[in-house]
Chains A and B, each alone.
Chain A
Amino acid sequence: MGNFDDFKTRLKIAKSNLKKTDNDTSKEASFLGNAFKLGTELVAAVAVGTIIGFILDSWLGTTPWLIVIFFFVGAAAGMLNVIRTAKRMQK
């Protein structure tokens, strides 16, 4: 019986150790992952906004105006993306 109790405590210690290391590695991975995420998040929205502006411009024949407007709207969307990602990181 004493042997079994001994095994139980050892199992508990091993389990708690396992939890600790598990958390550490996944946290580190998510930090690095977030660092990679932020940059492209901003650029992609600007690119998509500009492309939409370009398509609408050639459609409606208002050449320089919509591309300028949508560039800034895209930049705003990019910042929104970055703020959302940053908020998720803080959780």
Chain B
Amino acid sequence: MATNPMHQFNVYRIGPEVKIAGIDISFTNSSLFMLLSAGAICIFLLLGTREKKLIPGKIQLVAEMFYNFIAKMISDTAGSKAKPYFPFIFSLFMFVLFCNMVGMFPYSFTVTSHIIVTLIMAMFIFVAVTIIGFIKHGFKYLKIFVPSGVPVLLLPLITVIEIISYLSRPVSLSVRLFANMMAGHTMLKVFGGFVISLGLLGGWLPLSFSVALTGLEILVAFLQAYVFAILTCIYLNDALNLHH
């Protein structure tokens, strides 16, 4: 049981079973770690903004760094029109980052290693961006499927290709985050299992791999949160500034 590398992804119920209209909405370990991540973000940001000093303390400095990082990312990729969406993108980035980072603790659960979680976030972004596009541009938004300067003969084919390209956005967004987190955590567990099975004599090699992989996984955890947020900005940019 403990040597099964996929065992860490089990979702199990904590507390009583709750069912509403046939849908199981019981509290699970996944929900627990989502709450933990959200709570950690709240505590971190509350501590960071409690004393607004001119010369920031350690936590305030880190909180301001995150703020600047996201603000710069949004203005670089989506321009000044995207400023009202800063709270959403900031919370999204922080949530994905903290879920990934909380998952790096031994015996914890990685919320983002389940495709249902990442797919729901990606679908929400996809639907929201599409609605924003239609609100801002009306039916002119459909022009993103019809690039200008294409011969009439090729137009139906190009339009189908553009529609598939547009529909692939939530898939690539969710699969990237889920696959990276799941593959990384499985790999860590597999190397951990090698340490146990090779024992004191041969276990040192997989142990050193494990140490290196832990560092890599922390990098991946940050990068995936970054990629998730920056792609949201890029999609938002396409919806806000129509240029096809």
Taken together as a complex, chains A and B put the C-alpha atoms of A47 and B164 apart, in Å, by 10
Give chain B interface residues in 128-173, CB to chain A under 8 Å. Answer: 157, 160-162, 164-165, 167-169, 171-172
Give chain A interface residues in 72-91, CB to chain B under 8 Å. Answer: 73-74, 76-78, 80-81, 88
Taken together as a complex, chains A and B put the C-alpha atoms of A52 and B231 apart, in Å, by 24
Choice from B69, B167, B227 contacting A26 with Cβ under 8 Å: B69
A32: Cβ under 8 A from any B Cβ: yes
Give min CB distance, B79 to chain A, whole Å. Answer: 13
Choice from B69, B161, B219 contacting A76 with Cβ under 8 Å: B161
Contact-size category for A: 20 to 34
The closest CB in chain A to the CB of B160 belongs to: A73
Taken together as a complex, chains A and B put the C-alpha atoms of A22 and B71 apart, in Å, by 13
Taken together as a complex, chains A and B put the C-alpha atoms of A82 and B168 apart, in Å, by 12
B223 touches A29 (CB 8 A): yes
Q: Please judge, given known A-B contacts A36-B223, A88-B234, whether A74 and B164 are in contact too, CB under 8 Å.
A: yes
Q: How many A-B residue pairs have CB under 8 A?
A: 71
Binds B, one of A6-14, A37-45, A57-65: A37-45
Taken together as a complex, chains A and B put the C-alpha atoms of A29 and B167 apart, in Å, by 27
B164 touches A36 (CB 8 A): no
Chain A 1-42, CB-CB to B under 8 Å as 1, else 0, gives: 000000000000000000000100010011011001100110
Residues of B within 8 A of A33 (CB): 223, 226-227, 230
A36 touches B224 (CB 8 A): yes
Residues of B within 8 A of A26 (CB): 69, 72-73
A48 touches B171 (CB 8 A): yes
Residues of B within 8 A of A78 (CB): 165, 168
Taken together as a complex, chains A and B put the C-alpha atoms of A52 and B164 apart, in Å, by 9
B180 touches A41 (CB 8 A): no
B230 touches A80 (CB 8 A): no
A32 touches B168 (CB 8 A): no
Residues of A within 8 A of B180 (CB): 36
The closest CB in chain A to the CB of B180 belongs to: A36
A80 touches B161 (CB 8 A): yes
Give min CB distance, B242 to chain A, whole Å. Answer: 15
Choice from A22, A47, A88 contacting B168 with Cβ under 8 Å: A47
Q: Please judge, given known A-B contacts A73-B164, A77-B164, whether A44 and B157 are in contact too, CB under 8 Å.
A: no
A44 touches B172 (CB 8 A): yes
Residues of A within 8 A of B164 (CB): 45, 48-49, 52, 70, 73-74, 77
Taken together as a complex, chains A and B put the C-alpha atoms of A29 and B223 apart, in Å, by 7
10 further A-B pairs in the complex, CB-CB below 8 A; given A30-B230, A33-B230, A36-B224? A26-B72, A32-B219, A36-B180, A44-B175, A45-B164, A47-B168, A76-B161, A77-B164, A80-B165, A88-B234
